Structure 1
Amino acid sequence: MRLTEEVLQNFEANGFLLLPQFADHELCDTIRDIALAHLKHKVPPIETELEYVGKTKEERKLISDGKAHLFEGQVTVRRLRQVYHRDIVFKHWMENEKIRPVLKQILGENPTITIAHHNSIMTKMPHTSTETRWHQDFRYWHFENDNLVSVWLALDEENGENGVLEFIPGSHKMDFAPSQFDEKDYFSDSCEENRKAITGKVCYPLQKGDVVLFHCKLLHRANRNSTDEPKISFVYTVKGCSNKAIEGTRSSEFEEVPLD
């Protein structure tokens, strides 16, 4: 599969791209079934809603080995971490050969999976999940440049009721002052300066098998899940092969997987 020049230009301008019905439905069901089993037994490493809400910016940067399985009492899992090594099915999806030419076009060079970031099954559990506030992933990462793209796979329907992704088109190209982000590095929706950008937000309901690619500096968010069913998605991140992680940071602590 190859993208047309028009599609590439749209990605460059907007910072995201939808690939409808890209993944096989049987694969999506298999991934979801495995994920549900890991979620049921809280197989570590995981991140909980409590961790996500309570962590400071500095603490979230340092998280590398979720210990939430040690918490006592009932916890709501926000994501299964380090999924590349959890199951061969997860690994095979992240190494999918069909998407490699697309990633190479967008990145301008061979893609490399970064195990350090995303590499997760993301959840929005019924009623107990929390809102994901406006943020840029790159503000928490440490690479020489911002040539990174995330690959988001919808394992079932995602909509406004269960927490579909929302984006601010073109925000990956906007220059923001530090004052436009709060103490946890969220893009503040109470800041008068930010409101014009936020009014331009878009979202597209996703169906099982849809894939969304989005730039690491694109502002995005998601509502909490107000339905009775869990919303489960798969996300991993690739970078241009020449884009090096900064030594001594979490971005450099994990292996990388070249997709030549």
Structure 2
Amino acid sequence: MSLRIEWGDEELQKFHEQGFLLFRQAVEPERCDAIRGIAHVHLKYRIPPLEMESEYIGIDKKKYRETVRRLRQVYDRDILFREWMREPAIRPLLAELLEEMPVLVTAHHNSIMTKMPHSSTPTHWHRDERYWHYRDDRLLSVWLALGRETQQNGVLEFIPGSHRQEFSPESFDERDFFRDDYAPNRPWIEGRVRFTLEKGDLVLFHCRLLHRAGANRSEAPKISFVYTVKAVGNEPIPGTRSALFPEYPLPLETPEIKSE
């Protein structure tokens, strides 16, 4: 199975200017269904490691303690997950965007992300780099929609160009979320964009791009797959979480992945 993506100088320029790229119907529905099926099993049986909703929002209520927010460390969970994260067809694009050979990071994201109905909470405006620790910002995330993602169930929203902006410390709260109650932030937030995603749609976005997602107000879970890659020369800072987990080079030519 391969990827259906087309890109050239125009797409590279868009990523530089806007901080993200969207590719429609990039991944076959059958592959998405297979990945989603494995994710459902791990969610049903709450196979660790997990992040619960209560950990994210800091509210220790039963509803949130029992709501899974994400499956962590999915690279080690199943061969289907590993095959997707090591997909050869996307590597040339990643190399162009990072301007070096891409390396798969397992310290951050490396997750099945969920928005559960009635018990999920909004994800506030943030940059992923707020809790990543590397020498520079040559990192990006690869987001795969495993089903339909809409405003009703918590689709991603982006602030185009925010990855290139240096904001004042006052623009962020004590948890490094971009404040919507701070007047200078309002013009940026008013420029946000969102796109309804269908199964198989793919979004690549820069680690400094401000993004958010709302709560799930539908009757079904929203399930997505996200992983992160960095440039090979972008080293993690010793002693931080970013340096504690394995990394896997993604050269442009690689032998076939064997089941373990």
After superposition, residues 77-116 of structure 1 pair within 5 angstroms as: 77-116=68-107
1:180-259 counterparts in 2 under 5 A? 180-259=171-250
Q: Distance in 2 between matches of 1:74 and 1:141?
A: 25
Q: Equivalent pairs: percent with the same residue?
A: 56
CA distance in 2, matches of 1:73, 1:219: 25
Quote the offset at 1:2 in angstroms. Answer: 5.8
Distance across 2 between alignment mates of 1:150 and 1:99: 12
Match for 2:31 among 24, 27, 33? 27
User: Are the counterparts in 2 of residues 2 and 101 from structure 1 also a CA contact under 8 Å?
Assistant: no
Q: 2:257 maps to what in 1?
A: none
Matched, 1:152 2:156: no
Q: Please state if 1:127 is matched with 2:118.
A: yes
Which residue identity lines up with residue 43 of structure 1 in the other structure? I
Name which of 43, 46, 67 aligns with 2:47: 43
Q: 1:73 to 1:53 in 2, by over 3 A?
A: closer
Mapped contact 2:53–2:64 kept (Cα < 8 A): no
Long gaps (5+) in structure 2: 252-260
Query: 1:141 matched to which residue of 2?
Result: 132
TM value normalised by structure 2: 0.92
TM-score by length of structure 1 reads: 0.92
**Which residue type is aligned with residue 13 of structure 2?**
Q
Tell me the secondary structure at the aligned position of residue 156 of structure 1: coil
| Consecutive unaligned residues in structure 1, runs of 5 or more | 56-70
Once residues 93 and 101 of structure 1 are traced to their aligned partners in structure 2, the CA distance between those partners, rounded to angstroms, is: 15
Partner of 1:60: none
Q: Deviations over 1:170-219 (max 9, x none)?
A: 00000111111001110010111111110000001101001000000000
Aligned residue for 1:98, secondary structure, equals helix
Number of equivalent positions: 245
Q: Is the 8 A contact 1:2 1:102 kept in 2?
A: no
Q: Does 1:13 align with 2:17?
A: yes
Over aligned residue pairs, what C-alpha RMSD do you find? 1.5
Q: Could you tell me whether the CA contact under 8 Å between 1:124 and 1:230 is conserved in 2?
A: yes
Query: Which amino acid letter does the alignment assign opposite residue 90 of structure 2?
Result: I
Superposition map of 1:47-86 within 5 A: 47-54=51-58, 75-86=66-77
Distance of 2:112 and 2:152 partners within structure 1: 19
The answer to whether the Cα contact below 8 Å between 1:3 and 1:105 also exists between their aligned partners in 2 is: no
Change (3 A) 1:176 1:74: closer
Greater shift, 233-242 or 73-82, is seen at 73-82
Q: What is the identity, as a one-letter code, of the residue corresponding to 2:7?
A: L
Asked whether the 8 Å contact 1:113–1:257 carries over to 2, the reply is yes
Distance in 1 (CA, whole Å) between partners of 2:29 and 2:227 is: 19
CA distance 1:73–1:165, shift in 2 (3 Å): closer
C-alpha displacement of 1:73: 9.9
Say which SS state the counterpart of residue 40 (structure 2) adopts. helix
* CA displacement at 1:136 relative to structure 2: 0.2
Displacement, 1:6?
A: 1.1
